[in-house]
Amino acid sequence: MPAGLILLSLVPVIAAFVRGAELASRPDVTPDNARFVTAPVPIVLHIVGSVLFALLGALQFVPSLRRRRWHRYAGRLVLPSGIAVAGSGLWMTLTYALPPIEDSGLSVIRVFVSTGMLLCLVLGFVAVRRRHYATHRAWMMRAYALGLGAGTQAFTFAFWTVAVGEPGVLAYALLMLAAWLINLGVAEYFIRRNDRKPRPGAGLSEGSVPRPKAGLSESRDFSGDAGSEPQLPRSTAWTG
């Protein structure tokens, strides 16, 4: 999964570098770049946040890293980067002039997506502060799915262009929406699959007692006849 997410994240990362290089070269103002050149702050925040959120977020799915402190330290960059992505996206949607291919319907969709991503990040942060790690993981996966919409949009637009041709205004908005919905659907699948995994001790019948592990201290005295089941002292509590 991490390798696939990194490959998918290359689409927004490459796009971010191309747009950043264009702004750094102080280009002439054209109808296509006027909104970025005249008001560069939100797009710069979006570029920096997208690169960090996409790449560091993908590495958060590596099990060996997730079990180490690296996950916590990287999360301190992933969370603000995600907020920068969603916040700047909302900022640009509400303040930038719309290009000809976009309409107010797509702007409404973008407002919902940006707001939803911000909400997922806040809920993920609240959950980890309360040590509800499963809930934290679920909300952060949803936020990452929304943040990586640009990667999936490259595929939805490519398939449509090959099969039908250049999309119109309505098709453009629906293809953008489809990418976000696909990502959310995949995230929900993995969240629910993880929830269905049996927890340690699940499936023990009521009153059953796990066998003691070898190497118990001598203070736990298990007595019984030869060949009989060892008896637990009353002071020892076992939980499933």
Contacts of residue 188, defined as CB under 8 A and 6 or more positions apart, other chains included, come to 142
pLDDT at residue number 153: 93
| pLDDT, averaged across the chain | 81
pLDDT top residue among 156 and 230: 156
Give the range of the structural domain holding residue 111, as residue numbers without chain letter: 2-195
- Say whether pTM exceeds 0.95: no
pLDDT top residue among 90 and 10: 90
Pick from 110, 124, 131, 106: nearest CA to 53: 124
Question: Per the domain annotation, does 181 fall within a domain?
Answer: yes
Using the structure block, give the residue that is written with the tokens 């992933």. 78
The CA–CA distances, whole Å, from 136 to 6, 19, 133, 167, 191 equal 21, 32, 5, 38, 11
Give the mean pLDDT of 31-43: 82
Give the mean pLDDT of 114-135: 95
Question: Per the domain annotation, does 30 fall within a domain?
Answer: yes
- State yes or no: pLDDT of 211 exceeds 70: no
Question: Per the domain annotation, does 212 fall within a domain?
Answer: no
- Is the CB of residue 110 less than 8 Å from the CB of residue 160? no
Question: Per the domain annotation, does 179 fall within a domain?
Answer: yes
Domains identified in the chain, total number: 1
pLDDT at residue number 116: 96
At 233, which amino acid appears?
P
Give the mean pLDDT of 163-183: 94
Pick from 43, 48, 51: nearest CA to 27: 43
228 vs 223: CA distance, rounded Å: 9
Using the structure block, give the residue that is written with the tokens 């107010």. 104
Question: Per the domain annotation, does 214 fall within a domain?
Answer: no
Pick from 184, 178, 182: nearest CA to 139: 184
- Is the CB of residue 46 less than 8 Å from the CB of residue 82? no
Question: Per the domain annotation, does 206 fall within a domain?
Answer: no
Question: Per the domain annotation, does 234 fall within a domain?
Answer: no
Question: Per the domain annotation, does 132 fall within a domain?
Answer: yes
- State yes or no: pLDDT of 234 exceeds 70: no
